[in-house]
Amino acid sequence: MVPDPVQDHPLQHAAAVLRWGLILVPMASAVGTLCAAFLWSLDVATRARFDHPWLLFLLPIAGAAIGLLYHWTGKSVEGGNNLIVDQIHQPGGGVPLRMAPLIFIGTVVTHLCGGSAGREGTAVQLGGSLASGFARLARLDEAGLRVILMAGIAAGFGAVFGTPLTGAVFALEVLALGRIEYAALIPCLAAGIVGDWACQAWGIHHTAYRIATPALGIAPPMLLKAALAGVAFGLAGRIFAEANHTLGGWIKRVVPYGPARPLLGGLAVIALTYALGTRGYLGLGVWSPNPADPTIAGFFTGPVDHWSWALKMLFTVVTLSSGFKGGEVTPLFFIGAALGSALAGVMGVPVDLFAGLGFVAVFAGAANTPFACTIMGLELFGAAHIVPIAVACFVAYACSGHGGIYLSQRIAVPKLSGSRLPPEATLRDVRAGR
């Protein structure tokens, strides 16, 4: 069949690009601006928590308040990131705009009072909810809604971490294992860049992490160690995801009333804090005024830290599974960098290099996004160590199995060729079938 030349006229392509530009640039700018406000608020909340340690004792009350807020007004958006992924797979009513203020407030309050959570989930939900609102204004069809939701994810992720290329690839890769959505390639790239520009235009600066070790080339012994570490990183990502889902499901069965779950979770975090005698595992873990606290930046400089990865995992799983708001990614960065530091001591390799590998590779295993995480390593650390970064991310992805933090992800290409999975099964389906 000969294609209709009218359907492939250059003017039609130009008109489509112009139309999408008029939608994407304002949308991504709005997402980047909202992410800037969120990051500023998060910084203020974190500093307030350090200045006023007594705020930790308000964590149970804050959790109950967040639970009540979602119980009264946010039941339709409790799915969070998984709701957005579901809407991209099967567009329905879109993503409610109320998701944006609810997740913004819930995350800031969680961090103000010491919950161990991240910020990626908030950025993705801000991007998805605003993108859905723009889709309704522009009266986009289902195909257009899918594209703009992916672009919203790219804008939010790129803005919150200062990694526009990673944001674009993450949005294309996160929907399904083994498949990248090329239909939204240019919109996601444009949204990731514009979102990052808009965020930086408001004076937001992102934490810089540096691998000082000189490039070691592609020496087989180092790549073998990177691959072995990748196995550990993938298993850590899987353990984190499974622990979060398992404990969350158990708490929902034991405590049916939603607002009571974060109240109890807040009490558990306080108990853990005093049982271990440290506040170093509260909040993001990016920085601390206490030099004795473990931080992500500290794992790059040493000394070797053996158990902080496990303790941060414990605090984060208790926080998120009980209903506090935020994301998993920054805690996964902490867990990965800390585990990389621990493995460096065992393997006799540079601490900063393996902290960097863990930083991105644990996330690759937990989110099933090896390409996005490899590009994140490139954007954050430069090209000098891109080969071991890729090795660690790809091996972590392979070793994390058919599990992950986003249960709405579909399995387009199983990780094992002999896997008998139904077409387009989700991670939720796989987990339910065990």
List the structure tokens of 76: 């339709």
Quick one: pLDDT band at residue 2, thresholds 50, 70, 90?
very low
Could you tell me what percent of the chain has a pLDDT over 70?
Answer: 97
Whole-number average pLDDT of the chain: 93
3-state secondary structure of 2: coil
3-state secondary structure of 411: strand
Whether the predicted pLDDT of 245 surpasses 80: yes
Quick one: pLDDT band at residue 3, thresholds 50, 70, 90?
very low
Phi and psi based region of residue 294 (left: phi greater than 0; alpha: psi -120 to 50; beta: remaining): beta
For residues 398-426, one letter each, b for 16 or more C-beta atoms within 10 angstroms of the residue's C-beta and e for the rest, the string is: bbbbbbbbbbbbbbeeeeeeeeeeeeebb
Per DSSP, what are the bridge partners of residue 426?
Answer: 410
3-state secondary structure of 119: coil
Looking from the CA of 61 toward its CB, the CA atoms found within 13 Å total 7
pLDDT of residue 7: 56
Q: What is the pLDDT of residues 141-193, one digit of tens each?
A: 999 999 999 999 999 999 999 999 999 999 999 999 999 999 899 999 999 99
Question: Who contacts 18 (Cβ-Cβ below 8 Å, separation ≥6)?
Answer: none
Looking from the CA of 181 toward its CB, the CA atoms found within 13 Å total 29
Whether the predicted pLDDT of 5 surpasses 80: no
Cα maximum dimension of the chain: 73
Quick one: pLDDT band at residue 64, thresholds 50, 70, 90?
very high
With beta carbons less than 8 A apart as the criterion, state whether 155 and 28 touch: yes
Q: What is the mean pLDDT of residues 323-347?
A: 96
With beta carbons less than 8 A apart as the criterion, state whether 273 and 319 touch: no
The candidate with the shortest Cα–Cα distance to 136, out of 77, 187, 180, 93, is 93
Q: What is the mean pLDDT of residues 88-107?
A: 90
List the structure tokens of 31: 């997402």
Residue 248's CB is within 10 A of a number of other CB atoms, namely 16
pLDDT of residue 423: 82
Q: What is the mean pLDDT of residues 98-110?
A: 96
Q: Is the peptide bond before 422 cis (omega within 30 degrees of 0)?
A: no
Give the separation between CA 425 and CA 411, rounded to whole angstroms.
6
Give the separation between CA 34 and CA 353, rounded to whole angstroms.
33
The region of weakest confidence among 11-25, 138-152, 292-306 is 11-25
Give the separation between CA 158 and CA 171, rounded to whole angstroms.
10
CA 420 to chain centre: 29
Give the separation between CA 186 and CA 24, rounded to whole angstroms.
11
Q: What is the pLDDT of residues 189-218, one digit of tens each?
A: 999 999 999 999 999 999 999 999 998 778
Question: Who contacts 217 (Cβ-Cβ below 8 Å, separation ≥6)?
Answer: none
The candidate with the shortest Cα–Cα distance to 287, out of 278, 279, 297, 277, is 297
Q: Is the peptide bond before 303 cis (omega within 30 degrees of 0)?
A: yes
With beta carbons less than 8 A apart as the criterion, state whether 329 and 119 touch: yes
Residue with tokens 């939701």: 149
Q: What is the mean pLDDT of residues 27-41?
A: 97
Q: What's the CATH number for 18-202? A: 1.10.3080.10
With beta carbons less than 8 A apart as the criterion, state whether 114 and 55 touch: yes
Quick one: pLDDT band at residue 302, thresholds 50, 70, 90?
confident
pLDDT of residue 416: 85
pLDDT of residue 17: 78
CATH 1.10.3080.10 domain extents, the chain: 18-202, 220-401
The region of weakest confidence among 4-8, 65-69, 160-164, 403-407 is 4-8
Residue with tokens 């709701």: 83
Architecture of domain 220-401: Orthogonal Bundle (1.10)
List the structure tokens of 9: 């006229």
* HEC sequence for 176-226: EECECCHHHHHHHHHHHHHHHHHHHHCCCCCCCCCCCCCCCCCCHHHHHHH
pLDDT of residue 191: 97
Could you tell me what percent of the chain has a pLDDT over 90?
Answer: 85
Whether the predicted pLDDT of 18 surpasses 90: no
Give the separation between CA 150 and CA 137, rounded to whole angstroms.
17
How many Å from the N-terminal Cα to the C-terminal Cα in the chain?
Answer: 47
